Amino acid sequence: MSLVNVAGTDEQTGRMKQMVETFCLRFPVLMELTKPRIVTMVLVAAGVGFLAGSHLSISPLRFILTMTGTCCFAASASVLNQVMEQSRDALMKRTSKRPLPSGRISRREAMIWGYFLLVFGTLLLLSGGLVEALKWAFVTWLLYLVASTPLWPVSSINTIVGAIPGALPPVIGWAGATGSVGLEAASLFLILFLWQFPHFLAIAWMYRDDYRRGGYRMITADDSTGYLTALHSVAYAAVLVPVSLLPFQIRLAGTIYFLAALLLSLYYLVKSIEFLRDRNDRTARRMLFASLWYLPLVYLFLILNPLPA
């Protein structure tokens, strides 16, 4: 081996070592970019969809690949969403310390990380033959970044459009378990779709000044009294009551689920009515807390009380 070849090999090794060291140093920031709490919520919803679709007869490899692939798609969407919203995030107190507006990572690095996660998630799902899950994962990713994110500074309809990709994770999970999507997956989609509105409207009301500073066109922007915000919350919570019972009606879940879903949905509705009657941050926060209890408990009873396929 010539000295030139040895020098070239040493140079390549040095570059590789430097790349690994840089990645390790950047890793905590890269993970922060993925919004781990949101990704966790996505995984819980996808996991429920998978468990419900498999009727607890789980293929471990199929489950792992579905969850890992979904995780990558959700993380990629979170990263690229922050790339798109960097300038607006810098204007808001609750987002100004994120990695991009705070300057802890460059836009280029974030984009590379976001697209790497997308490609890696695609390869994972393809490796398991999970084509249907891949289709719904990509639809979710595309709707979030192409349809939802650009609407935030344009129109308050952004909440409705954003709720569509936000409600698709159970569909991805169901598709991963069964290879198809039907009425059962649609019922899980509708529950999550409707649940989001009182949840997000509570946040929009509590942080209305911050959203206004960031240039986000929320319903609260032209609703100084909070009446329209609260009225929408009540309307969606009211529709959620019968919709939450769909898994029982289509024999996806049993009587215990029926009773739990009914009581939880009525409680959620009561908290939204309280917000309508007395529109302030305190009642909005109570409605938000009710939403945080609602979803995991509904999911828990759905999984604990399935009906045979």
Predicted pLDDT of residue 306:
82
Closest among 231, 177, 183 to 67, alpha carbons compared: 177
Average pLDDT over residues 8-22: 65
Vertex 178, ends 170 and 185: CA angle to 5°? Answer: 35
Of 28-32, 48-52, 151-155, least confident by mean pLDDT is 151-155
Q: How many CA atoms lie within 13 A of 190 on its CB side?
A: 15
- Cα four-point dihedral sign 249, 179, 164, 193: positive
Q: To the nearest whole percent, how much of the chain has pLDDT over 70?
A: 92
Rounded mean pLDDT, 97-110: 93
Residue 109: helix, strand or coil by DSSP? helix
Q: Where are the domains of the chain?
A: 14-179, 182-309
Closest of 144, 76, 69 to residue 110, by C-alpha: 76
pLDDT on residue 239:
98
Look at 1-5, 30-34, 112-116, 154-158 and tell me which has the smallest mean pLDDT.
1-5
H-type helices in the chain, by residue range? Answer: 3-33, 36-54, 60-84, 86-89, 107-127, 131-142, 158-166, 169-178, 183-206, 208-214, 227-243, 246-249, 255-277, 281-304
Confidence of residue 58 (pLDDT cuts 50, 70, 90): confident
Torsion of CA 257, 258, 262, 263, to 10 degrees: -50
- Contact, 170 vs 192, CB < 8 A? yes
- Cβ-count burial 117-128 (b if 16+ within 10 Å, e if not): bbebbbebbeeb
Helix (H) or strand (E) holding 194: helix 183-206
Number of H helices, E strands in the chain: 14, 0
What DSSP character marks residue 219?
G
User: Any idea what the Cα angle at residue 242 is, between residues 173 and 51, rounded to 5°?
Assistant: 20
Give which of 306, 184, 296, 219 is closest to 254, Cα–Cα: 306
The separation between CA 309 and the C-alpha centre of its own chain, rounded to angstroms, equals 28
The stretch 159-168 carries a mean pLDDT of: 95
Q: What is the average pLDDT score of the chain?
A: 92
Cα–Cα distance for residue pair 40/122, rounded to 1 Å: 19
Q: Would you give the distance in Å from CA 113 to the centre of its chain?
A: 18
The amino acid that residue 27 corresponds to is F
CA 228 to chain centre: 25
Residue 53 has pLDDT above 80, yes or no: yes
pLDDT at residue number 14: 65
Taking only the tens place, the pLDDT of each residue in 116-154 is: 999 999 999 999 999 999 999 999 999 999 999 999 888
Amino acid at 179: G
**Of 126, 114, 148, nearest in space to 39 by CA:** 114
pLDDT band (50, 70, 90) for residue 57: confident
DSSP assignment, residue 240? H
Query: Quick one: CATH architecture of 14-179?
Result: Orthogonal Bundle (1.10)
Considering only residues 64 and 215, tell me which one the structure prediction assigns the higher pLDDT. Answer: 64
DSSP label at residue 143: I
Q: What is the pTM of this model?
A: 0.90
